[in-house]
Amino acid sequence: MWPLFIGALVVISITHWVYRWMNPIRNGKLPPGSMGFPLLGESLQFFRPNTSSDIPPFVKQRMKRYGPIFKTNLVGRPVVVSTDSDLNYFIFQQEGQLFQSWYPDTFTEIFGRQNVGSLHGFMYKYLKNMVLNLFGPESLKRMLPEVEQAANGKLQQWANRDTIELKEATARMIFDLTAKKLISYDQENSSENLRENFVAFIQGLISFPLNIPGTAYHKCLEGRKRAMRMLKNLLQERRENPKKQQSDFFDYVLEELQKEGTILTEAIALDLMFVLLFASFETTSLALTLAVKFLTDYPLVLKKLTEEHEMILKNQEDADSGITWKEYKSMTFTFQVINETVRLANIVPGIFRKALRDIQFKGYTIPAGWAVMVCPPAVHLNPAKYEDPLSFNPWRWEGVELNGATKHFMAFGGGMRTPGLQFPDGFHVQMKVKDQGENGSA
């Protein structure tokens, strides 16, 4: 009798728990959607690889079924997914008031618990100012000749090869340039290869979070550990052999660490360095690779772009001088090409925030403590806003003035704090290098 009673009690308890999981009891009306399996949620479907340039299948299928706002559960966490431009805009406008930056525990484990995307308030503003000190508008003006020289040097090297792996080549170029600027790192004069550790990190970045030897996620964490160990050693070397004049970001960090009463710690500084190195080369190399593919596929765009740059060169008084900031800012069609590339590349496919209190929006309740995932691809590929959204058409940006993110264009997310949670599979291009033909193909 007692075993039967206990068995029935267990079954009832489990059934009740599963029901509560599938139907969270909250005040108000939750968005439609499914919470998936207990504990797992819909994580397996979410982490499934996406090789298309369209809206990720996980999101697209649920948009058709539930509408632009729906609920799900990822790695045991209830999440409201937003493909609604009004809600997206509201979330970013209310950051620090109704929402705050948030990422799953697996993400903070990968990028560090002190990474800039997970910090709030004064500390976030402090780190933001540190970054702007190096990469602000005035610094970028000074960097322009350095970037142009590096790009020209690499293009000359590539021109002598039959083929190049474009994604890999651009990633290497950008990483070398960024690492030199941040920490004066030079691979040729180093006994360890810092970038190899980042490559190991990236290969397992978007994988199911199972941290056991042999899994992609485990390899990702090991790559991070090795990279962080190298950065820590480099920082220690700089401490022991300081430079007379500030020349890179490490110098600036050391100066801040030595200030009395500083809020900066070595752990926060190293996590910041790691994120800056990763975000700079991986996202930019992806966008550059896609840009080359688009220009190859659309010869009329390449022709118009070439004409704009040839006009700038023709008007230069000194043919050997580099591009000036004024000339750079005059590249109207170039910026249209950049905007269209970023729109289609969707460099940041998912941006996470957390609701700080119960929020009512369009008849739905977003409960306090729930995560919210903004989905830029659904905004960028919305046929109601962009005619033929999967087509590469830079002319759609003609006459459009952009100053940061808008309701319908979220170039690099909601702001500078956001590295993407999931990146599309690396676009693997093998491009034959030859002289441009009449059709403009490369």
φ/ψ of 56, rounded to 5, equals -50, 135
φ/ψ of 359, rounded to 5, equals -125, 130
Residue 412 is predicted with a pLDDT of: 57
- The mean per-residue pLDDT over the stretch 174-190 comes to 78
Look at residue 81 and give its three-state secondary structure.
strand
End-to-end CA distance of the chain: 80
Q: How far apart, in whole angstroms, are the C-alpha atoms of residue 168 and residue 331? A: 27
55: in domain: yes
Flag the least confident range among 191-195, 228-232, 237-241, 344-348: 191-195
The position carrying tokens 């034959």 is: 432
- The mean per-residue pLDDT over the stretch 264-282 comes to 79
Closest CA to 96 of 123, 67, 136: 123
Q: How far apart, in whole angstroms, are the C-alpha atoms of residue 170 and residue 275? A: 18
113: in domain: no
Residue 31 is predicted with a pLDDT of: 93
421: in domain: yes
Q: Count up the domains in the chain and report the number.
A: 1
Residue 60 is predicted with a pLDDT of: 92
Average model confidence (pLDDT) across the chain: 78
114: in domain: no
Question: What is the domain range of residue 140?
Answer: 2-105+121-432
Q: How far apart, in whole angstroms, are the C-alpha atoms of residue 175 and residue 185? A: 10
Given a contact cutoff of 8 angstroms between Cβ atoms, the answer to whether 204 and 220 are in contact is: yes
Given a contact cutoff of 8 angstroms between Cβ atoms, the answer to whether 407 and 89 are in contact is: yes
Q: Has residue 292 got a pLDDT over 80? A: yes
The CATH number that applies at residue 237 is 1.10.630.10
Q: Has residue 242 got a pLDDT over 90? A: no
pLDDT in tens, 33-50: 988 877 778 888 887 777
- The mean per-residue pLDDT over the stretch 301-306 comes to 96
Secondary structure element (H or E) that encloses residue 263, with its range: none
Q: Could you tell me the pLDDT band of residue 441, with boundaries at 50, 70 and 90? A: very low
Q: Has residue 241 got a pLDDT over 70? A: yes
Q: Has residue 399 got a pLDDT over 90? A: no
Q: Has residue 206 got a pLDDT over 90? A: no
Token pair listed for 2: 């007692």
Q: Could you tell me the pLDDT band of residue 84, with boundaries at 50, 70 and 90? A: very high
Residue 204 is predicted with a pLDDT of: 63
The position carrying tokens 């308030």 is: 121
347: in domain: yes
162: in domain: yes
Q: Has residue 393 got a pLDDT over 80? A: yes
439: in domain: no
